[in-house]
Chains A and B, each alone.
Chain A
Amino acid sequence: MGFLWTGAWILVLVVHSSPIQAFPTPEGSQDKPVHNKELSAERPLNEQIAEAEADKIKNIYSPAFLSENKPGESNYSFVDNLNLLKAITEKEKNEKERQSVRNSPYDNKLNMEDVDSTKNRRLIDDYDSTKSGLNHKIQDDPDGLHQLDGTPLTAEDIVQKIATRIYEENDRGVFDKIVSKLLNLGLITESQAHTLEDEVAEVLQKLISKEANSYKEKPNKPTSKTESQSGKIPEKVIPMAAVQDGFANGENDETVSNTLTLTNGLERRTETYSEDNFEELQYFPNFYALLKSIDSEKEAKEKETLITIMKTLIDFVKMMVKYGTISPEEGVSYLENLDETIALQTKNKLEKNVTDNKSKLFSAPSMKGHEETDSTKEEAAKMEKEYGTLKDSTKDDNPRGKTDEPKGKTEAYLEAIRKNIEWLKKHNTKGNKEDYDLSKMKDFINQQTEAYVEKGILDKEEADAIRRIYSSL
């Protein structure tokens, strides 16, 4: 009998407890949190790069890319300028080298996703349980400069990417291009560019040493005119030399080439540049004069920065000429313009003792002489310098007429307090409680304003003003 009871009891228990198991509870499935850890994992680099390349092409060919897109979508900010840059400058290169290979597999995608270019979804890699949907962030990021959830890549990521790309394309010019773009937009500083170079060199060496046997070592022939791209980094010398021919500056081949042999592997830019670049830079008389005029001791950093920037620009232009993006004549006149404008701007900058020249230098020169924009940019930068560092406070947006502001604000507060007191009085049914409530109110206000000042919700002056108003009631 006892057993019957117990049995019945157990049965009842089971019946009651089964609903608990049937419905999912927050405590259930303890092993699912494992997936959460994967939320921050990244997809293998090759995939990211491959997708970034594909997206780039897609964006170039999509009609919707440059016009206004669906709201609330792509990562519009300066990143999109970078996209545009990359897209345009690499379009030619892609067309030449990759068209046949890449476009066909992606043709279908191009057609399908034409309507909505910036919100592409990859059907591949979709249901991978170890990866979260953060991966799909990459669709908004054709140039591959962003992580899964929209945050910018770290330095190591960039290094890896660049090294891999250089290796794939066997061209050191890739590095120059990428770095100059990064410098353009102020995404990295000069010193970071140097560190980057070293790190990329290291990674590259590793990559190369793996494949060392399959490539023949080509000797460093500075004057060789062959266009062959295979082999190691020193081959930069060759395209440089070839390009030199196009320059109407009437260069001295040997001098220039000697200069260019400085790049053995990926050496420190500043070192080699400062040693040898003067020869090349003699073709930029203004700039050269400027350099000379800089006191090497006091502003060595400035000097180095300038030299490096100049070098980068020159390389960049050379690369474009080499790839036929611009004609040699265009390249020359560009550089001539560059020389003049840069010299001028840099001089002004140095006089003001501002270190962040980069954006100015890169944005100043243009083929069609956008001098107007130069001066306005300077103005804007000036303003930014003066106001940009100020943390947002009530003083921020008030360069003049400061007396208007506090008066207007205090008025508003006064008005609000008046309304409050009125309402409180109306809702006090017991007349004799009025005074009591007011003092209680004052205490409350004092307390609250204190707390608000601490939390950054109120300024000290505002709090004082409010307390003053209340105490005068």
Chain B
Amino acid sequence: MAGRGGRALLALCAALAAGGWLLGAGALEPGAPAAAGMRRRRRLQQEDGISFEYHRYPELREALVSMWLQCTAISRIYTVGRSFEGRELLVIELSDNPGVHEPGEPEFKYIGNMHGNEAVGRELLIFLAQYLCNEYQKGNETIIKLIHNTRIHIMPSLNPDGFEKAASQPGELRDWLVGRSNAQGIDLNRNFPDLDRIAYINEKEGGPNNHLLKNLKKIVDQNTKLAPETKAVIHWIMDIPFVLSANLHGGDIVANYPYDETRSGSAQEYSSCPDDAIFRSLARAYSSFNPSMSDPNRPPCRKNDDDSSFVDGTTNGAAWYSIPGGMQDFNYLSSNCFETTMELSCEKFPPEETLKTYWEDNKNSLISYLEQVHRGVKGFVRDLQGNPIANATISVEGIDHDVTSAKDGDYWRLLVPGNYKLTASAPGYLAITKKVAVPYSPAVGVDFELESFSERKEEEKEELMEWWKMMSETLNF
């Protein structure tokens, strides 16, 4: 009894000590000289303006500003809001017309470091931004084409507060514990409204599985349980008609796609969404270019890990393990955006020297995934006068998930190769169905001109009048 009690007390004290230590170790790294030395070293490890080192918040900002200064013609920095501790959630946008949505140009986003201690994604995105700028100026045609035809948004860190916490930890304490959540202790990837649940209920009882959050801004702003970072991202998703997105994480190596939550509530179960086919293709488009992700003989990150659901470096989220409230499924169920989750490293916060290797491993994947936005079908929905119809519904026969057109009437529908029937409809308009043959890429252009009911009525009325006139003339009445 005493022995056990003694052990317990010791563990308690250790835990208290650990807790106190962790709480006490604040913003400053214990080795200040090391930090200064690191900064001096930074300039040496550069390659074309990319320094393969960890960027804290000031360095992150600097890197983005440098990149913008180098490529002012094709980039723009903006912020979607502030973290709990007041750091800006910075985004760098790359496009031939930064700051403007060009009708018909798909929007794409990369988000990293949502878990503050999963650091590789954050760094990769900083490297990517610089790389795109460099390559553009070098005349790399693939990159030039991408930037001219896409509006790319890169958010290196959704949880800068968590990252600061994680980065301040010494050695082994880094990784699994500190810095994952935001400054309020909220796990951002469980903080999104759980639309999966609603979608599943609708599947059984009838109802939509897209755009499930109505009166969004009000609900979001009034919900006290949402972290400021979550709220900022939700507004961002609603404001910009994103088509494709990826959410970068760490702790394993796999490309994860919806749904992330099981229907039955079990811990593991393949739960496919209506767009399972395209998602598998998107995930593979990333994983196949990453040597470790696509390596069939790669040993699991930890001895007891269950990688049984991994296929070609990809996995259905719920088949791996079920989670509620994730950002990935929120995108799919509340907006037109298809998002996948990329786990990029076994170690969440690996040593700085490995960053260059991670970049080499992921560079091609990141570009390849970017290109996926130019697939399927895209076009405009207009009325007979040529005015755009916003918020029209575009449905695909056989796939129970619709997308909607954006403000300029433009829409994008990602699809795997095949023959499809697309229907565009809008309230007050007569729906039109068109057949489309979709190749792997590029996207096929299909426009719709919808006739409104009133127009149709007018037409019919006129015809009726014509007929009446003819009849009366003929029959003399």
A212 an interface residue at 8 Å Cβ cutoff?
A: no
B393 partner, pick from A23, A119, A397, A416, beta carbons under 8 A: A23
Given contacts A72-B115, A75-B190, A363 and B16 within 8 Å (CB-CB):
yes
Contacts of B207 in A (CB 8 A): 24, 28-29, 32
Which residues of chain A from 1 to 23 have any CB-CB distance to chain B below 8 Å in the complex? 1-2, 5-6, 9, 13, 16-17, 19-20, 23
A113 to B67, CA, bound (A): 48
Q: When the two chains form their complex, are residues A397 and B58 in contact, meaning their CB atoms are under 8 A apart?
A: yes
In this assembly, does A265 line the interface, its C-beta being within 8 Å of a C-beta of chain B? Answer: no
Residues in B with CB closer than 8 Å to A88 are 8, 11-12, 15
**B186 touching A151, Cβ below 8 Å:** yes
Chain B stretch 55-93: residues in CB contact (< 8 A) with chain A: 56-58, 61-62, 65-73, 77-79, 82, 85-88, 90
Interchain CA distance A5-B446 in the complex, whole Å: 33
**Binary contact readout B1-40 vs A (1 if CB under 8 angstroms, 0 otherwise):** 1101110111111111111111111111110100110011
User: What are the interface flags for A52-70 relative to B under an 8 Å C-beta threshold, 1 for contact and 0 otherwise?
Assistant: 0000000000001000111
User: Does A26 count as interface, using CB distance less than 8 angstroms?
Assistant: yes
The minimal Cβ–Cβ distance linking A166 to chain B, given in whole angstroms, is: 21
- Of the four ranges (under 10, 10 to 19, 20 to 34, 35 or more), the interface on chain A belongs to 35 or more
Contact B219 A36 (CB under 8 A): yes
In the complex, chain B residues whose CB is within 8 Å of the CB of A26? 208, 210-211, 391, 393, 402, 404
Task: Report yes or no: A466 in contact with B69, Cβ–Cβ below 8 A.
Answer: yes
If over half of A's interface residues share one DSSP class (helix, strand or loop), that class is named, otherwise mixed; here it is helix
Q: How far is the CB of A16 from chain B (nearest CB, A)?
A: 5
With both beta carbons as reference points, the residue of chain B lying nearest to A317 in the complex is identified as: B9
Q: CB distance A132 to B180 under 8 Å? A: no
B251 close to chain A: CB less than 8 A: yes
Question: For residue A1, which residues in chain B have a CB less than 8 angstroms away from its CB?
Answer: 471
A25-B425, A73-B321 known; A32+B79 contact, CB < 8 A: no
Q: Is B137 an interface residue (CB 8 A)?
A: yes
A36–B219 CA distance with the chains assembled, in angstroms = 9
A396 an interface residue at 8 Å Cβ cutoff?
A: yes
Assess the A149–B24 pair: CB atoms within 8 A: no
| B residues near A36, Cβ cutoff 8 Å | 193, 198, 212-214, 219
A282 near B: Cβ within 8 Å? no
B331 to chain A minimum Cβ distance, whole angstroms, is 16
Per-residue CB contact flags for chain B residues 113-146 toward chain A (1 = under 8 Å, else 0) read: 0010010000000000000000001000000000
* B440: interface (CB < 8 Å): no
**Which of under 10, 10 to 19, 20 to 34, or 35 or more describes the interface residues of B?**
35 or more
Residues from chain A with Cβ under 8 Å of B209 in the complex: 24
Interface 0/1 of B177-203, CB less than 8 Å to A: 110110011110111011011100110
A121 on interface, CB distance cutoff 8 Å = yes
Binds A, one of B147-155, B257-265, B377-385: B257-265
Query: Among A64, A84, A416, which residue has the most Cβ atoms of chain B within 10 A?
Result: A416
Q: Chain A contacts of B178 at CB under 8 A?
A: 76-77
B36 A133 Cβ-Cβ under 8 A? no
- Segment of A198-206, A225-233, A268-276, A400-408 in the binding face: A400-408
With A24-B402, A26-B208 already in contact, the answer to whether A455 and B324 are too (CB < 8 A) is no
- Most chain A CB inside 10 Å of its own CB: which residue of B213, B225, B251, B427: B225
Asked if B266 contacts A78 (CB within 8 A), the reply is no
Chain A residues lying within 8 Å of B430, measured Cβ to Cβ, are: 16-17, 20
Bound complex: CA A36 to CA B198 (Å): 8
In the assembled complex, how far is the CB of residue B388 from the closest CB belonging to chain A, in whole angstroms?
17
Closest to B463 in A: A5
Q: Nearest B residue to A412 by beta-carbon distance? A: B66
Contacts of A35 in B (CB 8 A): 198, 201
Decide: A326 and B5 in contact? CB cutoff 8 A.
yes
- What chain A residues lie within 8 Å of B262 (beta carbons)? 121
**A445 and B72 in contact, given A23-B425, A184-B19, A387-B27 (Cβ under 8 angstroms):** yes
Contacts of A367 in B (CB 8 A): 6, 9-10, 13
**For A413, what are the chain B residues with a Cβ–Cβ distance below 8 Å?**
65-66, 69
Determine which of B10, B40, B190, B400 lies in contact with A368 in the assembled complex, contact meaning CB atoms within 8 Å. Answer: B10
Which of A122-130, A255-263, A288-296, A300-308 contacts its partner? A122-130
Given contacts A113-B267, A383-B25, A399-B28, 19 further A-B contacts (CB under 8 A): A6-B464, A13-B453, A32-B202, A36-B212, A39-B223, A73-B321, A85-B12, A121-B265, A122-B265, A134-B194, A150-B187, A151-B185, A327-B5, A363-B20, A366-B10, A366-B13, A415-B66, A457-B90, A466-B69
Q: List 9 A-B contacts (CB under 8 A).
A: A20-B430, A39-B193, A64-B304, A73-B321, A127-B265, A149-B226, A184-B19, A360-B20, A376-B21
| Among all A-B residue pairs, the 10 with the closest Cβ atoms | A71-B251, A363-B20, A384-B26, A133-B194, A126-B265, A380-B24, A416-B69, A133-B197, A416-B70, A133-B324
